[in-house]
Amino acid sequence: MALEAALENLRGDLRRFSDVLEGLESTFEHDMPEEGGVKLVETLDERVVELRGYVIEALNSAETALGHEKESREPNQMRRALVHSQQQFLSLQNLFYGEMLKYEDAAELVRFARRAGDRWPGWVHSVFLGLDACRPWLEAASEDYCQAWQELAERATTGPVSLQTTNIGQQISTTRTDSNFISEFGAT
């Protein structure tokens, strides 16, 4: 796979991840019951907004890297953009796996929804579905970064190849009788 293709895959997967997070933000903004919320719900909302900020930064930098690659501009600028993109993505991963999916917080949110009743259990279920929908895009983007770096490494180690040809040697031809004579002895 070429580097440009790897960067296009990365851009596409980050866009889809951003769309999933946008849907999750909408769940907090428009679908959350207004009555009886708790601090944990507010904290989750802030974390979703922070995740979206990271994915937008990662996406913008990935698009910059792709632009530099397509236009064959400065390879160092392309690498710097890819590095910045991955740094934002790593911050996003740390927040997602370290803060968003803590067992204790999830259990507390479920307990709260059961106690609060009304629309809260359905809303909590929607939030969990939204968080679950993020996982495939996190994994896909991680693989895309690996592929991009592998392409860059291969590019750095292969370098340009030069081929020079010369005509050295002679052409040997035989007549038909000579070739029959040779084949009688099992030589070809």
Q: So what's the pLDDT on residue 41? A: 85
Q: How far apart are CA 122 and CA 140, in angstroms?
A: 29
Q: pLDDT for 13-45, tens place per residue?
A: 999 999 999 999 998 888 888 776 678 888 888
* Phi (first) and psi of residue 32, to 5 degrees: -70, 130
Q: pLDDT for 155-182, tens place per residue?
A: 888 765 555 666 666 666 655 555 555 5
Burial, 58: exposed, middle or buried (Cβ in 10 Å; 0-12, 13-18, 19+)?
buried
Rounded to an integer, the average pLDDT of 97-101 is: 84
Rounded to an integer, the average pLDDT of 121-127 is: 91
Specify whether the CB–CB gap between 7 and 37 falls below 8 A.
no
**Structure-block tokens of residue 45:** 């909302």
- Domains of the chain and any CATH numbers: 3-162 (1.20.120)
Q: How far apart are CA 24 and CA 116, in angstroms?
A: 21
Reference 55, options 90, 84, 89; nearest CA is 89
Reference 65, options 42, 44, 89; nearest CA is 89
| CA-CA-CA-CA dihedral for 69, 74, 80, 85, to nearest 10 | -20
Q: Count Cβ atoms below 10 Å from residue 94 Cβ, excluding itself.
A: 11
Of the given ranges (4-8, 66-70, 98-102), which has the lowest mean pLDDT?
98-102
Q: Where are the beta strands (DSSP E) in 39-183?
A: none
Q: Which amino acid, residue 70?
A: K
* Phi (first) and psi of residue 154, to 5 degrees: -65, -40
Reported as type and span, the H/E element at residue 140 is helix 120-158
Measured at the CA of 163, the angle between CA 162 and CA 168, to 5 degrees, comes to: 150
